[in-house]
Structure 1
Amino acid sequence: MTTLFDPKKTAVLSLHMVNDIASPKGKFGPMFGEQVVARDVANQGKALVEYARSQQIPVIHVAVRFQPGHTDLVANSPLLTIVKDMDALVEGTWGADFIDEIQPLDGETIITHQRVGAFQDSQLHQSLQQKGIEHLILFGVVTNNIVEHTARNGVDYGYYVTVVEDCCAAPTLAVHQASIENMRLVADIKTLAEITSS
């Protein structure tokens, strides 16, 4: 992906590309759908995932999912309270499944978690360590939550982090751009074209 990193030690993390979040028809569609469509995140993300697969770079699919009744949800933030109130992201439902464009292939790792970032109380770090991963390439929805949170946590865990800017979306373009600027001191910011041409 870049001359500084060995593809054998790199993984692409597809973050929260599930229907309730990344589909305009999902329960968070009214909040995120306009920018997901405007930025063509589903197809951009699909192109990134397909490129990674062609280079034999592991793709890890991260999904936030909860048990029916949200018995495993700690509603200690406005965002998680909204999830519970909307009965969103329930394990086994269409909303918690991955979007059609980015379905995991057999053998690809799926990480399920219940917090804002992908590392907290999940098997992500352990899975990455088992694979010998040192460099994370992140994309997904939404930029200012799962992507930024995971980028910062990833750096704290010792990984090199790249965020693919045009494979992410937030509630508004301004929020997305602000989050990308926030991450410039912790992550390498690239476009899809820069990744696939390196």
Structure 2
Amino acid sequence: MKERISASSFIRFPTEPEPISVDLLRSSVIVVDMQNVFLSPGGMFDIIGFNVLKFRRIIKPVKNVLDYSRKLGLKIIYLRQAYSPDLSDSGGPESPSYWKVRSLVLLREKPDLKDKSSIKGAWGAEIIDEVKPLPEEPVIDKQRYSGFVNTKLEEVLRNMNIKYLFFVGIFLNVCVESTIRDAFFRDFWPIVISDCCEAVGSKYAKNVSLWNISNLFGWTITSRKYIRALKKEAAKI
């Protein structure tokens, strides 16, 4: 059963590097690329040798955050990397994305992995079962690292009167951070739930990305502190 967010909806979150007050009525959890292609055994990233078990460690805290956010009535929005079957929306050889986005390069090198990839309609492009969106929750497809580029994300957020964005998902140092930077430039307030995100690459990548975000583009918080703050608010209702 959902609790109703009270009219006095500003609450203080113990974010880093400093606490901030957030209006829950104008807040959303943004779920980034929690897809089979990146996270599931048998997905493209698993097949080519990435440690998906490491990536999957975020699933439980992400689920906890979503469950409790829904209980309090916060809006949830999903971002999903998804290309048309002919890759016409990938930019083509004139676009740097064509050469630098790992999944696009792999699709050209290993076309037999199509169903394991982020092609629309493929199993790989689907959100993992553990954190599936509810029917009323928007799922916005993107073809660039940032969820704001060539999508309706900003329009959806403005129409919902959303200002504060809590981010979960992968990869922190790629699509999550890219979307956070664009959110910051558009005067949204980005907050990363740190144990609900994982980075790809160097063992230092996650800490570097968290430093960038907390010092330059937003704030960070753990899932435990996030949920604790929401529970404290729910107790007042």
Q: Same fold (TM over 0.5)?
A: yes
For residues 70-92 of structure 1, what are the alpha-carbon distances to aligned partners after superposition, in whole Å with 9 as ceiling and x for unaligned? 22212523125425435420111
Summarize the alignment of residues 168-187 of structure 1 with structure 2, pairs less than 5 Å apart: 168-171=197-200, 172-184=202-214, 185-187=216-218
- Choose 64-73 or 113-122, whichever is displaced more: 64-73
Of 51, 69, 93, the residue aligned with 1:52 is 69
Counterpart position of 1:35: 54
- Work out which of the residue numbers 153, 160, 169 in structure 1 matches 2:182: 153
The alpha-carbon deviation at position 31 of structure 1 amounts to: 2.7
For 1:47 and 1:120, the matched residues in 2 are separated by: 29
Among 72, 76, 101, the residue aligned to 1:79: 101
1:158-177 CA-partner distances (Å, limit 9, x unpaired): 10110011001112442111
Alignment partner, residue 191 of structure 2: 162
For 2:17, the equivalent position in structure 1 comes to none
The 5 Å alignment of 1:1-198 reads: 2-3=11-12, 4-29=21-46, 30-31=49-50, 33-37=52-56, 40-74=57-91, 76-77=96-97, 78-79=100-101, 81-85=104-108, 86=110, 87=114, 88-171=117-200, 172-184=202-214, 185-198=216-229
Counterpart code for 2:169 = G
Q: How far apart are the structure 2 equivalents of 1:174 and 1:35?
A: 14
Paired amino acid for 2:88: T
Counterpart amino acid of residue 28 in structure 2 = A
Where in structure 1 are there 5+ consecutive unaligned residues? none
Identity, % of aligned pairs? 24
The TM-score normalised by the length of structure 2 is 0.78
**Distance apart, 1:34 and its partner CA:** 3.8
Contact 1:35 1:173 in 2 (8 A): no
Q: 1:69 to 1:11 in 2, by over 3 A?
A: same
Q: Distance in 2 between matches of 1:64 and 1:188?
A: 24
Runs of 4 or more off by more than 3 Å in structure 1? none
Question: Considering only CA atoms, is the larger Rg found in Structure 1 or Structure 2?
Answer: 2
What amino acid maps onto 1:186 in structure 2? F
Normalising by the residue count of structure 1, what TM-score does the alignment of the two structures yield? 0.92
Q: 1:16·1:22 contact (CA, 8 Å) conserved in 2?
A: no
- Paired with 1:24 and 1:144, the residues of 2 have a C-alpha distance of 22
* Distance change in 2, residues 1:181/1:79 (3 Å): same
Tell which deviates more after alignment, 178-187 or 78-87. Answer: 78-87
CA deviations on 1:30-63 (whole Å, 9 max, x unpaired) are 33514213xx111111111111101100000100
CA RMSD of aligned residues (A): 1.6
